[in-house]
Amino acid sequence: MILDDRLPTILRKTYIARIEGDRLLIGDRRRYPWEISCVACASVQQVADAIRAMVTQGGGPLQVALTTMRLVARWIHAGLQPDRLDTFVHAANLLAEARPTNTTMARTLKDFVVDLSVWYHCQSIRSSHDRDLVSFTDSLLDAVEERFDHAYESMSDLGASLITGDEGVLTTCFAEHSFTLSMLKATERGNRVTVYVPETRPYLQGSRLTAPSLAQLGISVKLVTDGMGSHLMGEGLVDHYLTAADLVAMDGTVVNKVGTLANAIGAHHYHIPYHVFAVSPDPTKLTRKDIVMEMRDGGEVRRCGTSATTLDSIEALYPAFDCIDASLVDAIITPKGMISPADISMHYKVAGTDKGAST
Amino acid sequence: MILDDRLPTILRKTYIARIEGDRLLIGDRRRYPWEISCVACASVQQVADAIRAMVTQGGGPLQVALTTMRLVARWIHAGLQPDRLDTFVHAANLLAEARPTNTTMARTLKDFVVDLSVWYHCQSIRSSHDRDLVSFTDSLLDAVEERFDHAYESMSDLGASLITGDEGVLTTCFAEHSFTLSMLKATERGNRVTVYVPETRPYLQGSRLTAPSLAQLGISVKLVTDGMGSHLMGEGLVDHYLTAADLVAMDGTVVNKVGTLANAIGAHHYHIPYHVFAVSPDPTKLTRKDIVMEMRDGGEVRRCGTSATTLDSIEALYPAFDCIDASLVDAIITPKGMISPADISMHYKVAGTDKGAST
């Protein structure tokens, strides 16, 4: 919890996900910033459904999933679920399948289940530890969260170091912890940063999450529509393009919210550097061919909040993510440092993943 | 009225503007496609206010202005306005000032006033003509409208000729007559055209005007958000990028709805041809420095239809138009044919406009 007091409301762990009784409360990003409210989930299936329904998105599902694992341990402890590893495996699979493109949560849960298997397979661990399943699970998950917190701190130091004066920054969607802390640290170092925030249709993560969060931290924000990024760059207002990544493959392909590509091409055209925050490049995705791209319901494009934007009879498309070619990216900011996209596999590819790792 | 029966509702002259009694009725594009309704104006000031408030936009204000001139003649005939040229000049100025960037209406009204001045300055014209001011004005305006109708027909023939098979077309905003007729003619020639339509925030001209109009003509439409153009081009779905222009300057700079630039850069990146329909390149605008760029109220970005998109306290920007450099444009489709942007001044620049023409 080292970061929470510096973060805007939407990124605080207690807002993203918390356990209350035998239920998980997920901060409802769909109602933010007008309401600080939660969706309550009484089963893992309900958590998965909430993620699919965009109650939380971006980096939110990772924190939600970790908290769900804590809750599953409590359910087992209370005799509400079978006391075996498979209960966790099943829960992890349900959550991982909720949205297919961002694999950070799925890989983190997989690692957690491997670590937890010691508890079930090794009698000596149970007896040598003076604790129950809940405290063992919590200790594993505390370590996972601490690792991510440290990653966000070091990545945001690198992000802040890019800003060397009174500069304009363009982003896309909601780039979460590393980006938000970068802008905060750059500001604290005396730079006057102006962040240009595209609204990010159809769910308005930019106008609802990014803009109010930065404003809450006292950072200058200018909201624009999704078509205005190149306009701003053409007018000379943008010194840096900075986004998160939902996924980075081993060929340096960056996957992020649809709309990111248009601005990456614009930045390339105007010779503006593009840096990407990626807390967990995926060693199992060798090239963009291995990436599962989510197509969401076009009906989501036909409305904005409670307003219809067109007739119900008009066909609409909602590809949720863009693939950005490595040639458009200056560097990827990772927990291992700032890495050229061409070199990402050197730092992340696991030996022997050339064959079949993507399956 | 040669075109009206082939056009979708929104482009029919009787919808765009018509005289009823002593008032002008303007088709309310803000309520389309859910309502076919009008805003009634009882003065030229009210017409100018309606244009400023986006009751009609794009090519709409031109037709509205021509019909307003017909109404002014009727007001004079009925003794409601002073019978002098200055009544028309004043009306033309009010309308021209409503929105500054698109100069087609202003220049067309200026030419009309010059033609009309004969009526007031030449007694012989009045006596030699067996008609009154209303019929003289109508005859001038009939000729103007006929010229535009012919321009739309020839430009849409050129636009349709670009389509040579089952192809995907990306557009931006609502490209009005020439574009709509191009897609119709290309379809009638047996091509299966799919038009990808960005919604065009904040006023949703794409989702509300372009998509329903093309669908009304039986053309396949896929609605997307404004950030998805490059995504579609990257996926190989787009064979042509086609837009209108609010203005073309003599250095080949194209001005069109904000969002056009991002897709033009995307098209350039993916080697997709970009053609622009321009019914009236502006010989008085020598370079982009001469173009008056409209900045609208950022509050328009903070809402979508009746829904707020963010907090009222968030600052937003709404630059209404993009300037697209000539190097990004393959050709400009004009009433004089398809012209390279580098050659536009050869066809349109008036002798002696090198000095001071832009003032």
Torsion of CA B210, B211, B213, B214, to 10 degrees: 110
Crossing angle between the packed helical segments B44-52 and B85-96, to the nearest 10 degrees: 10
Contacts of A304 in chain B (CB under 8 A): 304-305, 307, 309
| Cα–Cα distance measured from residue B259 to residue B161, given in angstroms and rounded to the nearest whole number | 25
Contacts of A311 in chain B (CB under 8 A): 33-34, 211-212, 215
Share of chain A above pLDDT 70, in %: 96
Check whether B202 has a pLDDT greater than 80.
Answer: yes
Give the CATH superfamily of A155-348.
Answer: Translation initiation factor eif-2b; domain 2 (3.40.50.10470)
What does the pLDDT read at residue A2? 54
- Nearest by CB to residue B314, choosing from A221, A260, A306, is A221
- Ranges of residues in chain A with a pLDDT under 50 are 1, 355-359
What does the pLDDT read at residue A358? 37
Please name the residue of chain A whose CA is at the shortest distance from the CA of residue B194: A315
Contact at CB, A322 and B172, closer than 8 angstroms: no
Start-end ranges of CATH 3.40.50.10470 in chain B? Answer: 164-348
Burial state string for B177-197 with b = 16 or more CB within 10 A and e = fewer than 16: bbbbbbbbbbbeeeeebbbbb
Interface test with B, best of A257, A310, A321 (most B CBs within 10 A): A310
**Distance from the B74 Cα atom to the nearest Cα atom in chain A, whole angstroms:** 38
Contacts of A230 in chain B (CB under 8 A): 261-262, 265, 322
Contact at CB, B305 and A302, closer than 8 angstroms: no
What does the pLDDT read at residue A352? 58
What does the pLDDT read at residue A312? 97
Interface test with A, best of B31, B309, B318 (most A CBs within 10 A): B309
What does the pLDDT read at residue B129? 62
Contacts of B202 in chain A (CB under 8 A): 225
What does the pLDDT read at residue A349? 81
Share of chain B above pLDDT 70, in %: 96
DSSP-derived pairing of the beta strands B318-319 and B337-339: unpaired
**Catalytic amino acids of B?**
246
Least confident of B2-11, B214-223, B332-341: B2-11
pTM: 0.94
- Nearest by CB to residue A223, choosing from B226, B231, B315, is B315
Mean pLDDT of B80-94: 97
Please name the residue of chain A whose CA is at the shortest distance from the CA of residue B218: A314
Burial label, A109 (beta-carbon count in 10 A; 0-12, 13-18, 19+): buried
Which residues share a beta bridge with B195? B169, B221
What does the pLDDT read at residue A359? 32
What does the pLDDT read at residue A351? 64
Contact at CB, A33 and B261, closer than 8 angstroms: no
Residue A113 burial (CB count, 10 A): 18
What does the pLDDT read at residue B270? 98
- Nearest by CB to residue A315, choosing from B204, B221, B227, is B221
User: pLDDT for B113-167, tens place per residue?
Assistant: 999 999 998 877 777 766 799 999 999 999 999 999 999 999 999 999 999 999 9
Least confident of A145-149, B50-54, B350-354: B350-354
Contact at CB, B305 and A304, closer than 8 angstroms: yes
Start-end ranges of CATH 3.40.50.10470 in chain A? Answer: 155-348
Contacts of B212 in chain A (CB under 8 A): 310-311, 314
Check whether B99 has a pLDDT greater than 90.
Answer: no
Please give the interface size between A and B, counted as residue pairs whose CB atoms are below 8 Å apart.
Answer: 200
Contacts of A263 in chain B (CB under 8 A): 262
Q: What is the 3-state secondary structure (H, E, C) of chain B?
A: CCCHHHCCHHHCHHHHEEEECCEEEEECCCCCCCCCCEEEECCHHHHHHHHHCCCCCCCHHHHHHHHHHHHHHHHHHCCCCCCCHHHHHHHHHHHHCCCCCCCHHHHHHHHHHHHHHHHHHCHHHHHHCCCCHHHHHHHHHHHHHHHHHHHHHHHHHHHHHHCCCCCEEECCCCCHHHHHHHHHHHHHCCCCCEEEEECCCCCCHHHHHHHHHHHHCCCEEEEECCCCHHHHHHCCCCCEEEEECCEECCCCCEEEECCHHHHHHHHHHCCCCEEEECCCCCCCCCCHHHCCCCEECHHHCCEECCEECCCCCCCECEECEEEECHHHCCEEEECCEEECHHHHHHHHCCCCCCCCCCC
| Cα–Cα distance measured from residue B78 to residue B20, given in angstroms and rounded to the nearest whole number | 14
- Nearest by CB to residue A307, choosing from B33, B261, B304, is B304
The token duo for B355 is 């000095």
Contact at CB, B317 and A228, closer than 8 angstroms: yes
Contact at CB, A199 and B259, closer than 8 angstroms: no
Mean pLDDT of B103-120: 95
Q: B164-348 adopts what CATH topology?
A: Rossmann fold (3.40.50)
Contacts of A201 in chain B (CB under 8 A): 199, 201, 225-227
Q: A4-150 adopts what CATH topology?
A: Four Helix Bundle (Hemerythrin (Met), subunit A) (1.20.120)
- Nearest by CB to residue A199, choosing from B229, B260, B309, is B309
Contact at CB, A304 and B301, closer than 8 angstroms: no
User: pLDDT for B154-192, tens place per residue?
Assistant: 999 999 999 999 999 999 999 999 999 999 999 999 999
- Nearest by CB to residue B227, choosing from A34, A201, A317, is A201
Residue A356 burial (CB count, 10 A): 9
Contact at CB, A211 and B310, closer than 8 angstroms: yes
Interface test with B, best of A31, A228, A253 (most B CBs within 10 A): A228
Q: How far is CA A116 from the centre of its chain?
A: 24
Please name the residue of chain A whose CA is at the shortest distance from the CA of residue B305: A307
User: pLDDT for A192-220, tens place per residue?
Assistant: 999 999 999 999 999 999 999 999 999 99
What does the pLDDT read at residue B351? 64
- Nearest by CB to residue A265, choosing from B172, B199, B266, is B266
| Cα–Cα distance measured from residue A262 to residue A238, given in angstroms and rounded to the nearest whole number | 15
User: pLDDT for B59-81, tens place per residue?
Assistant: 899 999 999 999 999 999 999 99
Q: Mean pLDDT over all residues of chain B?
A: 94
Contact A159/A193 with Cβ under 8 angstroms? no
Contact B268/B274 with Cβ under 8 angstroms? yes
For residue B310, name the pLDDT band (cuts at 50, 70, 90).
very high
What does the pLDDT read at residue A357? 36
**Distance from the A33 Cα atom to the nearest Cα atom in chain B, whole angstroms:** 7
Contact at CB, A201 and B201, closer than 8 angstroms: yes
Share of chain B above pLDDT 90, in %: 89
Residue B9 burial (CB count, 10 A): 14
Check whether B2 has a pLDDT greater than 80.
Answer: no
Contacts of A301 in chain B (CB under 8 A): 199, 223-225
User: pLDDT for A23-44, tens place per residue?
Assistant: 999 999 999 999 999 999 999 9
| Cα–Cα distance measured from residue B206 to residue B198, given in angstroms and rounded to the nearest whole number | 6
Which residues share a beta bridge with B308? B303
Contact at CB, B201 and A227, closer than 8 angstroms: yes
Which residue is catalytic, options A246, A290, A312, A325?
A: A246
Start-end ranges of CATH 1.20.120.420 in chain B? Answer: 4-150
What does the pLDDT read at residue A99? 87
Give how far Cα A158 sits from Cα of A147, A175, A329, B24, B238, Å: 17, 15, 16, 61, 38
What does the pLDDT read at residue A129? 62
Check whether B40 has a pLDDT greater than 70.
Answer: yes
Largest CA distance in chain B: 67
Contacts of A268 in chain B (CB under 8 A): 269
